[in-house]
Structure 1
Amino acid sequence: MNRPYIFCHMITSIDGKIDGTHKSIPARGENAFDFYQLAFGEDAYYHLDGWLSGRATSEAAFTKGMQPMIDENAAPVPDGDYIAKTDLTKYYVSIDPSGKLGWETNSIQYRDTEAHVIEVLTEKASNGYKAMLRSLEISYIIAGEELLDYEQLLSKLKEQFKIETLMLGGGGVLNWSFIQAGFCDEVSMLIAPFADGSAQTHALFQTKEGMTEDIPVAFDLEHVEKRDNGAVWLRYKVIGKVE
C-alpha cells in the first residue's frame, strides 16, 4: 500500500492521560512547548508534512464549537474529492466523517506553524456541507461510505497531497484505531511530570465499541531520553497485534 510514514506523537501525564486538570498547571506549559519543538520546531526530530486528528480534537483546538454555515439549497457539487490551491507547505488533516465542524477559514495556526485544512469525510456528509468547504477553499477527501476507509484515506494523502510523513495526534480512540488497523509505524510519548488520577479523562489509547477491540499490541523500545522540566521522551516502533 502506498501511504505516508505515520508516527503517533502525544504528550501525556504520568498516568497516561492526554487531557484532564493536570493540563492547567502553568509549569506543564513548558512540557507542551517541548512537545511542539520535537515535531514542529526549527530543529525538530521529525520532519512532517502534515498531522491528523479527530473531530473532537479539531473542535476543541480550532473550531471552538462553531456550527457550520450550511446552505441546504446549495447547487450540487461535483462527485469526489476537492483539492484547493494553497501556498502552505503543511497540512492539518481532520477526520470528520459526517461533516460537523464549523470551519471559518481554510488554514489553522498551531503556535508558529500554519497549515492548510484537509477535511476527511465519508459519503454521509451532505452536499451543503461540501459546498461550504468549497466556498472556503478547504480541501476535502471522501474516504468510505458509512465508516472511515483507512487505506483509501492514506493513499489519497500520499498521492494527491504528497504527504510522506504524517503525525497522528489523537484523541485516544483515533490513535488506537490506527494502531489496531496496522497503520501506525511509531509511537512518540512525551511524559510530563504531572498526574490528576481522574477516571473520567481520556488515555493515550482507547477502544470504542463497534469500532475497535482491546487486542494487545506489542512495541519495541527505540529511544529513552530525559528532557528539560522533568519530562521523559519515549519512542517505540510498532510491532503489531499479539493474539
Structure 2
Amino acid sequence: MTQPFIFCHMLISIDGKITGKYMNTPEGEAAGDFFYQVAFGEKPFYKNQGWLSGRKTTDDNFTMYKEPVLPESFEAVPAGDYIIETGKPIYYISIDPSGKLGWEKNTITYQDTTATVIEVLTEKVSDNYKAFLRSLDIPYIIAGKESIDPKQTVEKLQRHFNLESIMLGGGGLLNWSFIEAGVCDEVSLVVAPVADGSSDSPSVFENGSLSGDKAVAFSLEQAETQEDGTLWLRYKVKK
C-alpha cells in the first residue's frame, strides 16, 4: 500500500505567523480567500479529501474550548478504532491525544465546506471519552501510546477512510511533527503581504520534539504572485 499524498497548506503573514491581527486586515482577508480556493474552492489545485489540525487549532476555530459532556454511564467500549460510514466527501481530522475536545456534533463548516469529524486519539484516552464520541457518531482511530504517531495516523486514515490526499492545517507543532516523521510530501504557503509584529504568535513550523533540533530542506516548485500582492509558494520536502 502506497502512502497518501500529504501536503501542508498554510496561510501566513510576511513574517511567517499563522495567527494574529494581520488576518483581519484587507490584505489578510484577500490572502485568506485565495488560500481557501487553492484547497477547498470549486476548482481547487489540490485534491483535498481531508484536512488535519491539532487540538488547539480545533478549539480556536470550532469547539471553542467547551468541555466535553461525558456520559455518566455507558456500555462497554470495544478496544481499537471506531470506524463508521459518514456520507460526507471530505473529512476534518482532529488530533486529540488526551481526548479533550468538546464536540456537539459530528460535522464542522468552514466557509462553504462542510466536513465530517474524525478524531485521532492515543491509547491513554478514557473509555468515557470514546463513549462520548460514539454517542455523536464521530469516528476515531488510535494512533500511538502516549503521543500521536504520524506514520500510523496516515496509514490508518488511508486504510479505513480511503484517503489518498490529506492536508496538514496546523498548528506549527503538528506540521513539524509530520515533516520530521517523513510523511509530508509538499508545503504550500500562501503569504499575505502584511505583518503585525507579534512576538508570541505561532509560526508555520514549531519544534516540540524532545529529540533535539533537526533541519529539513525543501526544493522550490512554484512561486506565483496575485494582483493584490499575495504570494503562493510551493515546496517539495527533501527526504
Alignment check: 8 A CA contact 1:52 1:169 kept: yes
- d(CA) in 2 for partners of 1:80, 1:191: 40
Q: TM-score, normalised by structure 1?
A: 0.95
Identity of aligned residues (%): 54
- d(CA) in 2 for partners of 1:209, 1:121: 19
Corresponding pairs, count: 239
Q: Aligned letter for 1:238?
A: V
Cross-structure match for 2:111: 111
Q: Aligned letter for 1:162?
A: N
Q: Aligned letter for 2:137?
A: E
Confirm or deny that 1:142 pairs with 2:148. Answer: no
Q: Aligned letter for 2:136?
A: L
- d(CA) in 2 for partners of 1:128, 1:76: 9
Cross-structure match for 2:84: 84
Cross-structure match for 2:21: 21
Pairwise CA distance, 1:214: 2.4
| CA offset digits 1:144-180 (Å, max 9, x no partner) | 1111122221111011100000000000111111111
| CA offset digits 1:105-130 (Å, max 9, x no partner) | 01111111111100000011111100
Alignment check: 8 A CA contact 1:2 1:155 kept: no
Alignment check: 8 A CA contact 1:3 1:157 kept: no
Matches within 5 A, 1:118-197: 118-197=118-197
Cross-structure match for 2:95: 95
Name the SS for the 1:43 alignment partner: coil
Task: Tell me whether 74-83 or 127-136 shows the greater mean CA deviation.
Answer: 74-83
Cross-structure match for 2:236: 237
- d(CA) in 2 for partners of 1:3, 1:54: 21
- d(CA) in 2 for partners of 1:66, 1:165: 30
Alignment check: 8 A CA contact 1:74 1:127 kept: no
Pairwise CA distance, 1:84: 2.3
Name the SS for the 1:230 alignment partner: coil
Pairwise CA distance, 1:72: 4.5
Alignment check: 8 A CA contact 1:122 1:145 kept: yes
Alignment check: 8 A CA contact 1:187 1:235 kept: yes
Q: What stretches of structure 2 of length at least 5 have no aligned partner?
A: none
Q: Aligned letter for 2:212?
A: E
Q: What stretches of structure 1 of length at least 5 have no aligned partner?
A: none
Name the SS for the 1:229 alignment partner: coil
State the 4+ residue runs in structure 1 displaced beyond 4 angstroms: none
Alignment check: 8 A CA contact 2:8 2:187 kept: yes
| CA offset digits 1:52-90 (Å, max 9, x no partner) | 000000111110111101124322211111112211110
Alignment check: 8 A CA contact 1:67 1:100 kept: yes
Task: Tell me whether 226-235 or 49-58 shows the greater mean CA deviation.
Answer: 226-235
- d(CA) in 2 for partners of 1:228, 1:183: 34
- d(CA) in 1 for partners of 2:209, 2:78: 34
| CA offset digits 1:159-213 (Å, max 9, x no partner) | 1100000000000111111111111000000100001122111111011152x63
Q: Aligned letter for 1:188?
A: S
Task: Tell me whether 81-90 or 217-226 shows the greater mean CA deviation.
Answer: 81-90
Pairwise CA distance, 1:29: 1.2
Alignment check: 8 A CA contact 2:187 2:237 kept: yes
Confirm or deny that 1:38 pairs with 2:38. Answer: yes
